[in-house]
Structure 1
Amino acid sequence: MVNSCKVDKLHNLQQELVRKVTHLLYEGWSQVRLLRSSADCGNWKDQLQSKPYEISEAIFRLSMDLAYPVQLKPDEVRKSFFGQTESDFQKFTLMYWENSPYLYRKKQSDLEGDAVFTALHNAFDLRTPDAIIESFIHGLVSCPAIASDELNINSFLHEVHDSLGAPVKYRQDVRVVRTPDQTSTGSGVEEHFFDDGTVFPDAAAFVEKCKGAIKNGFSIALRGMEFRSEKIAAVASALADLFGQPSVGANIYFSPPRSQGLARHYDDHCVLVWQLLGCKKWKIWPNTRPILPRLYEPFHSLDGLVDDSGGRVEVLHEGDIMYVPRGHVHEAHTDLDEGESEVNASTNYSLHLTLAIEVEPPFEWEGFAHIALHCWLEEQELVRSPGSAKSKVEEQAPLFALLLHVAIRLLSDDEPTLRKACMATAKLPSLSNSLRSSHRSIFADILDKIGSNNNLKDALRSIELAVKARNDEPFQWMSWLRHLPQQHGRRRIDFSDVLGRLEELIDMFSSDRERASSDFADFRSSFCGCAVYDDARREFEALLVMYRTARTRYAKGMLALHGKHGG
């Protein structure tokens, strides 16, 4: 009954009852998993062949809306990561955010009173290297990917109903990797301990293999810690609120002495690195590109990007936090110089947590511009006199808006501001009025750039090529716009399938290009002169809530499959 109904129907269930039932389901599911991995009980295996996934789906569904007791406020996390005063975070945002690396060194006395660090530190058994591995590897299940713009949890469950609670999968969930000869010229080549796609149904055997890998110089990188640890989930959620983003990812890295795990690389997201145990030396190069890398886009070659003799070098000690902006090439290893590490067997190993602030496309300033255009167009429909006939230009407005969406996208390829994260709905400290006022200034500057930019020919050319080839793949980036409300008074644009409307647009320009170009220029000028920041911000916040709701439900479901049932 739980698995066959829509998830919204589960809202009316009493939470305390749900917790008890979920706990019982988890106990039963654990026993079924043991039976399936056993060499005995052949008859039972046949009978239980489909049961584990049915039980795990029920656990996931029941847990999605439970209130979790482990919660942190954005201000608590802000103080722990950036300093006690509000001006510390304001300084970080204005000087370092998406611009340059930042290091926050913590004194031992500061760590003792830091509840966030203490909670994370206590989440692992730090007595021995083997104990550390067991504390974060034991009992794992796979965390299947959810599409970045998938806000319907029913659709996600339909896709993965027969794989929820499956064993971890190599690369998707975990990597066991080393980069030998890290001191030689060049970035080195990664070696992996397991083959791509390997699954680990025998959890105990997997743990033992990881222990052996560590002894041979491999590092363990486990993804999705925000789905596996309620303490890390609380930190990630508070950071997402602080920066006004849908979610923050979390990975844990455990490295042996004199080793390098991942090869030199850059990320398409910003990271906050928190050293939980031991020391690690980092080398970071400046970002030579003016445009920040966009999430999910292909990575560029590192050739010519870095000079081996250059780069900033920092050694992180226990409690230190370092920020690395997206696009900055970096590498890290535990091959420290004499005097850089304490003489202690446990601290010769390094354990650090990375928190990835992934800026999804709707939540860049480019996304804010698209939302502003959408809101302005909807407002034009509302202010028109009821029952009055639409003019030809009004009928063409949705097509002009579609064209302007494409033009804004092309502008973002060369305009650095549009690629930056929009923090218009970030839960900033109360005194950060200068940060809030800067958002209005940025928006006004973006409107000026859109109004003065003359890339109509480029936008039309890209549309013509797509229409001619009957291929709308180059415009799939705008599919997230389908989540924004549209008035019923006009022909709706299906942003998941825009090819037909793009074809109408090309026909309109083909019949009278000069007139259409003039009308489009007027349309663009009206938008840039009349778009309202507060309207866009409200819609931006509503979209953020939708994204956050879907991500939070997914996270709660996955935490329950790791034995965290909401207390």
Structure 2
Amino acid sequence: MALSPASRSSSSSSETNQRQLNHRVIFPLLLATIANIRYAHSRSILKRTLQNYMIIIKTTPPPSVEALLPHGLLSLLPVLISTTETYPSLCILTAEVIGSIALNSMDANSELAADDEILGSFVGALCYCTRMVKEEKKKMKKKVVMALCNAILDLSTNPCSRELISQSLAGFCADMWADKFMKNKLLIVVLDTLLMLVNTYSIDILASIPRELLSTTLASLKKLWIMLQNQQSPTQSGEEGQEYRCRKKHDLAVAIFRLSMNDVQYPSYDIDMVKRDIFGSSSKFDFEHFLSNYWEDSPFLFVGSSLNSDNKNIVFGSLMKTFVGKSMDALLSSILNCTISCPPLNSDEPDIFNFLEEMKGELGSPLVYGQDIRVIKTECIHSSLQKEIDFFDYDKTNLKGILVDDIQKYKQAFHQGFTIALRGMEFRSKKIAAIAEGLAYLFGMPSVGVNLYLTPSGSQGLSRHYDDHCVFVCQIIGQKKWILFPNPAAPVLPRLYEPLENLSCLNCQGKPLDLHEGDILYIPRGSPHEARTMIDDIKDKPVESSVSSLHMTFSIEVERPFEWEGFAHTAVDYWSKTQNYASHPYHGHSQLQVPDFLVNLLHLAISTIGVNEPIFRKACMVSMCSSNAESNKSIFQCIVNAIDWKCSFLEVMKTAKVIVDEGNDEALHWVRWVQYLVPRNNKRENDKRDAFCEVHEELECFIELSDEKNNVDCIETMFIELKSEFCRQVVFDDVCKSFQKLLEDYRKIRQQYTNGMLSLHCDGF
């Protein structure tokens, strides 16, 4: 029978009163039953009260904070959670209540998480459950742990609560591992919860974590990480511990990486100190003299630069002290022990989280042979023909991790004349990272890569070759004989990641050069070279004698955005965004938005010129320390003149046809990074189309239209007009601001990567 309006109103009022009555009596009922919890009847009432409380919480619309958390209730929740040992079902029900409250109100959520007693009771309950218990109780303990972890995740929907909970869980997990309770699967559940929290932090939350809290959480996780790295045998921790290492090691690595990436892991060197310690400060030779006479042109030897006579070289002197005085076997152990893979970061990657997404299940893995490390030696077949030999057989298309217990094999290879080559040293040592950062800022680049080479007596590691980057070779231990050859392609410099030519049959006389401890040798990109250690004349002398060599190469990698061609692309992008034009389709073709399409053609023209124009390939010196502003303006004017005079529309058409017909995107390298500059005012923020696809569509339409001469003539006229306007109007100083912003963005993600990897190398030398 349908109720009358008055009856429905009366019924609704009654339900409301019942809700108010229920939440008002929750506290006294709980207090009374807890006081008599030893009696079964009281426990029965207690369970019904909690169940009714759950009904109130889940009522629609949600009740007020006062109804969710009646006065005095916060003081009782820790008591109920603490009943884990004697009445686990009550603990489970209480955890479910807390989780429901947390999901229904952010304010109530914050109050719960801010209560130290509640968090303490969670930790206490988890601590009890994760200790070894009788077999018959394990099933119930697992239910308790799952309920507590679910409540923790519910509380963590509030970012403020998440930080507090993560700290408590991190400390708890560290204590558990320290007490060797890792054999229990329940601990894995708790640690999973902590890692799930940390690994879902947004960039804003990570940046807002208080420093003290961050340090506490990181210290706990690193403690776990070191234990995990040091325990190699399954018998050390049982099958369950081994299972944990296999499944969750990568999650732990990601958590440490994420918490560390915005926190610089080393003290920075003053740029002037780096400059002085390498290049000196005399009136006859300094950094500016080096830039003018040798940079990207000729090799130069800085004799004893890192061991100068007054012993004041702070930068390289402290690095050398780290290695000097150790046997080669000891060096190998210290360098390779607990060293993990440092997978390459995409050069144009704008977001560190994209890298972490790609590395799912791989971050924290052992060294990858061919990527992180090589064990090689070069043998002369005949005359000047050389061949590199790898100690380990490996497939370059299917790289596999080298386990830590292969250190003995590395030592064996070293004693057989093989060189140990390890890349990414700036991610494995804080001292090296600090030097690399100083050099990067000195030369105005996003980052500097560092490789280590350990070579036994009378041996050659790499065969004769040239690099696509400039290097500073720092001789740390022993000595090495180098042979330097002139650049056969001068004045054209090789570009980063371009295929390298085989130089084994190079027919020209090289210049010999001996490198001793403390010497630093500069080799410009494109200059062929080879190096070998001296032959020991004393028989039966151990291989780790002074004739063995340890040197590092600090690589100044000039990426495409930071060549002068890259500066030209930045100039076109900046200039086009300052023009007040409205885009419109060319003769009804929606793919060709004019003048946006013409701007892309100008980018393509610059790439075409840059293939053979030497100045376009040189490193842009705008952001270099002590760079000459007038000289840079003069170079930029030469670039603009080259664009104005050498820009051929027919060549642009040919390049566009190659891109469309052959799918060769090399000429579109600028698309990968120009799109990350400030967007045009008329560009929709929600336009998610891939930039490459957009340019490809434009070029395909352009090639189709080029079949008609009228279209070609019309587009060429518009293109020449736009190019001329750019060359007349572009202002060097304005472009510098955009270029500097791009450099800072690149540096930011490289710094985040370096911070994260250094943190994972906890015991780095």
- Shared topology, TM-score over 0.5? yes
How do 1:78-97 residues align onto structure 2 when only pairs under 5 Å count? 78-85=275-282, 88-97=286-295
Residue type of the alignment partner of 2:697: G
Distance in structure 2 (CA, Å) of the matches to 1:178 and 1:539: 45
Give yes or no for the alignment of 1:533 onto 2:726.
no
Residue type of the alignment partner of 1:118: G
- Match 2:749 to one of 523, 546, 550: 550
Please name the residue that 1:68 is paired with: 265
Q: Is the 8 A contact 1:256 1:348 kept in 2?
A: yes
Q: Is the 8 A contact 1:275 1:318 kept in 2?
A: yes
**Which structure is higher in helix share?**
2
RCO higher in structure (CA 8 A, sep ≥6): 1
Please name the residue that 1:488 is paired with: 681
How do 1:148-159 residues align onto structure 2 when only pairs under 5 Å count? 148-159=347-358
Please name the residue that 2:629 is paired with: 436
Distance in structure 2 (CA, Å) of the matches to 1:23 and 1:367: 42
Distance in structure 2 (CA, Å) of the matches to 1:253 and 1:48: 31
Residue type of the alignment partner of 2:451: N
Shift in alpha-carbon separation, 1:564–1:457, aligned structure 2, 3 A = farther
Per the TM alignment, residue 124 of structure 1 is displaced from its structure 2 partner at its CA by 2.4
- Match 1:283 to one of 470, 480, 483: 483
- Match 1:325 to one of 524, 544, 552: 524
Taking every aligned residue pair, what percent have the same amino acid on both sides?
Answer: 38
Distance in structure 2 (CA, Å) of the matches to 1:414 and 1:85: 38
- Match 1:215 to one of 415, 428, 432: 415
Shift in alpha-carbon separation, 1:304–1:518, aligned structure 2, 3 A = farther
Give yes or no for the alignment of 1:398 onto 2:599.
no
Give yes or no for the alignment of 1:453 onto 2:646.
yes
Please name the residue that 2:322 is paired with: 123
Please name the residue that 1:199 is paired with: 401
- Match 1:296 to one of 487, 497, 502: 497
Distance in structure 1 (CA, Å) of the matches to 2:662 and 2:370: 35
Per the TM alignment, residue 471 of structure 1 is displaced from its structure 2 partner at its CA by 6.8
Residue type of the alignment partner of 2:644: G
Per the TM alignment, residue 373 of structure 1 is displaced from its structure 2 partner at its CA by 0.6
Deviations 1:42-73 (A, max 9, x none): 23323443221111111000000113342112
Residue type of the alignment partner of 2:401: V
Distance in structure 1 (CA, Å) of the matches to 2:365 and 2:526: 34
Please name the residue that 1:467 is paired with: 660
Please name the residue that 2:59 is paired with: none
How do 1:49-448 residues align onto structure 2 when only pairs under 5 Å count? 49-85=246-282, 88-106=286-304, 108-110=307-309, 112-124=311-323, 126-181=325-380, 185-196=383-394, 197-201=399-403, 203=404, 205-289=405-489, 290-302=491-503, 305-307=506-508, 310-335=509-534, 346-381=545-580, 396-428=594-626, 435-448=628-641
Give yes or no for the alignment of 1:505 onto 2:698.
no
Per the TM alignment, residue 425 of structure 1 is displaced from its structure 2 partner at its CA by 1.1
Q: Is the 8 A contact 1:33 1:52 kept in 2?
A: no
Distance in structure 1 (CA, Å) of the matches to 2:387 and 2:248: 42
Q: Is the 8 A contact 1:141 1:165 kept in 2?
A: yes
Distance in structure 2 (CA, Å) of the matches to 1:391 and 1:376: 21
Distance in structure 1 (CA, Å) of the matches to 2:547 and 2:583: 76
Per the TM alignment, residue 481 of structure 1 is displaced from its structure 2 partner at its CA by 1.2
Per the TM alignment, residue 284 of structure 1 is displaced from its structure 2 partner at its CA by 0.8
Distance in structure 2 (CA, Å) of the matches to 1:110 and 1:363: 37
Shift in alpha-carbon separation, 1:452–1:549, aligned structure 2, 3 A = same
Q: Is the 8 A contact 2:606 2:647 kept in 1?
A: no
Per the TM alignment, residue 486 of structure 1 is displaced from its structure 2 partner at its CA by 2.0
Distance in structure 2 (CA, Å) of the matches to 1:130 and 1:304: 35
Distance in structure 2 (CA, Å) of the matches to 1:467 and 1:390: 23
Q: Is the 8 A contact 1:79 1:85 kept in 2?
A: no
Q: Is the 8 A contact 2:560 2:566 kept in 1?
A: yes
Distance in structure 2 (CA, Å) of the matches to 1:6 and 1:451: 46
Distance in structure 1 (CA, Å) of the matches to 2:420 and 2:536: 23
Deviations 1:147-166 (A, max 9, x none): 00002011111110211110
Distance in structure 1 (CA, Å) of the matches to 2:364 and 2:322: 22
TM-score (norm: length of structure 2): 0.68
Distance in structure 1 (CA, Å) of the matches to 2:505 and 2:384: 11
Residue type of the alignment partner of 2:679: Q
Give yes or no for the alignment of 1:523 onto 2:716.
no
Deviations 1:387-435 (A, max 9, x none): x89797996221111111111111111100000000201222xxx5xx3
Q: Is the 8 A contact 1:280 1:350 kept in 2?
A: yes
**Gap runs ≥5 in structure 2:** 1-196
Shift in alpha-carbon separation, 1:283–1:396, aligned structure 2, 3 A = same
Q: Look up the SS of the partner of 2:546 in the other structure.
A: helix
Q: Is the 8 A contact 2:561 2:670 kept in 1?
A: no
Per the TM alignment, residue 33 of structure 1 is displaced from its structure 2 partner at its CA by 3.6
Deviations 1:175-232 (A, max 9, x none): 11111248x522411111112234222x2x3222221111111111110000000000
- Radius of gyration: which is bigger? 2
Q: Is the 8 A contact 2:475 2:517 kept in 1?
A: yes
Shift in alpha-carbon separation, 1:126–1:139, aligned structure 2, 3 A = farther
Q: Is the 8 A contact 1:371 1:539 kept in 2?
A: yes
TM-score (norm: length of structure 1): 0.91
Deviating more after overlay: 492-501 vs 214-223: 492-501
Shift in alpha-carbon separation, 1:238–1:527, aligned structure 2, 3 A = same
Shift in alpha-carbon separation, 1:161–1:36, aligned structure 2, 3 A = farther
Per the TM alignment, residue 500 of structure 1 is displaced from its structure 2 partner at its CA by 1.3
Shift in alpha-carbon separation, 1:306–1:139, aligned structure 2, 3 A = farther
Q: Is the 8 A contact 2:457 2:547 kept in 1?
A: yes
Per the TM alignment, residue 538 of structure 1 is displaced from its structure 2 partner at its CA by 0.7
Per the TM alignment, residue 113 of structure 1 is displaced from its structure 2 partner at its CA by 1.6
Distance in structure 1 (CA, Å) of the matches to 2:670 and 2:266: 37
Please name the residue that 2:49 is paired with: none
Q: Look up the SS of the partner of 1:271 in the other structure.
A: strand
Q: Is the 8 A contact 2:464 2:504 kept in 1?
A: no
Q: Look up the SS of the partner of 2:387 in the other structure.
A: coil
Per the TM alignment, residue 299 of structure 1 is displaced from its structure 2 partner at its CA by 1.2
Deviating more after overlay: 208-217 vs 298-307: 298-307
Deviating more after overlay: 402-411 vs 132-141: 132-141
Distance in structure 2 (CA, Å) of the matches to 1:110 and 1:20: 44
Distance in structure 2 (CA, Å) of the matches to 1:500 and 1:214: 54
Per the TM alignment, residue 273 of structure 1 is displaced from its structure 2 partner at its CA by 0.3
Distance in structure 1 (CA, Å) of the matches to 2:697 and 2:664: 11
Residue type of the alignment partner of 1:269: H
Distance in structure 1 (CA, Å) of the matches to 2:418 and 2:458: 10
Distance in structure 2 (CA, Å) of the matches to 1:101 and 1:189: 25
Per the TM alignment, residue 521 of structure 1 is displaced from its structure 2 partner at its CA by 1.1
Per the TM alignment, residue 254 of structure 1 is displaced from its structure 2 partner at its CA by 0.8
Cα RMSD of the aligned pairs, angstroms, is 2.7
Per the TM alignment, residue 16 of structure 1 is displaced from its structure 2 partner at its CA by 2.9
Deviations 1:302-334 (A, max 9, x none): 266442xx1111101111111001111100001
Q: Is the 8 A contact 2:419 2:461 kept in 1?
A: yes
Distance in structure 1 (CA, Å) of the matches to 2:243 and 2:505: 58
Deviations 1:351-397 (A, max 9, x none): 1110000001100000000000111111113xx6xxx8979799622
Residue type of the alignment partner of 1:416: P
**Gap runs ≥5 in structure 1:** none
Residue type of the alignment partner of 2:315: V
Q: Is the 8 A contact 1:273 1:355 kept in 2?
A: yes
Distance in structure 1 (CA, Å) of the matches to 2:289 and 2:319: 26
